Structure 1
Amino acid sequence: MSTIQATAGAPAAVWVRVFHNNQRTRGVYLHGYETGHTVTEVFTYTTRPQGDTHDLALADEAFELFNIGDDPHFGTPDPRAVDYRGRLNRSLSVGDVLAIDGRFYSCDSSGWRELTEAPPVEQITAPGTTPLY
């Protein structure tokens, strides 16, 4: 697990990329990402974490952002979440993948697992998945 550190008093910007798993079987929601699953890149953004922030904390923030971040019942909607939903993307789910400054993590049924290599990207349009490019 990597740590992002602030330099010269200002936090470094962190690039976060969001990928939906293209595997459409029920098992992906139980077992998560498996080697060989292809993913579609659906969103990207930068964030400026406060102080020393671990990748897993950033992943948890992304999970919350893309599950409830656009819902006014949970506070002021985050423009990134509104944009994500405006692109007709579904909630971030088990089996999906995040890249945080080039390090990849899969969403598991309980937390995040660091991947040893980038998943293969295959841009596929499907209900709830709108390719970024």
Structure 2
Amino acid sequence: MSKTPQEIVELLYQLLERSYSPYSGFAVAAVIKSGSGRLYGGVNVENAAYPLSRCAEQSATLQMVSAGEREIAEVWVLSRGAQPATPCGGCRQVLSEFAHPGVPVHCLSADGPELHTTVGALLPHAFGKQYLQPDQD
């Protein structure tokens, strides 16, 4: 059953409460809609050893891949604050592995502002599989 945008936003708010962000205090939730239409949620999970922390977008993508899916159809991100937080550079690269450049990315702020963009706009000229394939002349 396909969820409406409002239902996805409600899910994002539920997920936001599960964020583990004791160091930054910056909670983030993400929902990935896969090519099959299933939804995968994730939250940021911080660690006292900062490099081991994971972003919400990565958490959601890992859930999708763990379920056996490989195609992102849409991305939703929710954070608290005056500005909508966009995926960080690392998350942009992770998203680009499973999403074509035209996939919509909806960045929402709990305070109201929204940014609607695409994976390609967030990461133009992404490094991808095409660089790892030998030229086929």
TM-score over 0.5 for the pair: no
Q: Which has the higher helix share?
A: 2
TM-score, normalised by the number of residues in structure 1: 0.28
Q: Which has the higher contact order (CA 8 A, sep 6+)?
A: 1
TM-score, normalised by the number of residues in structure 2: 0.28
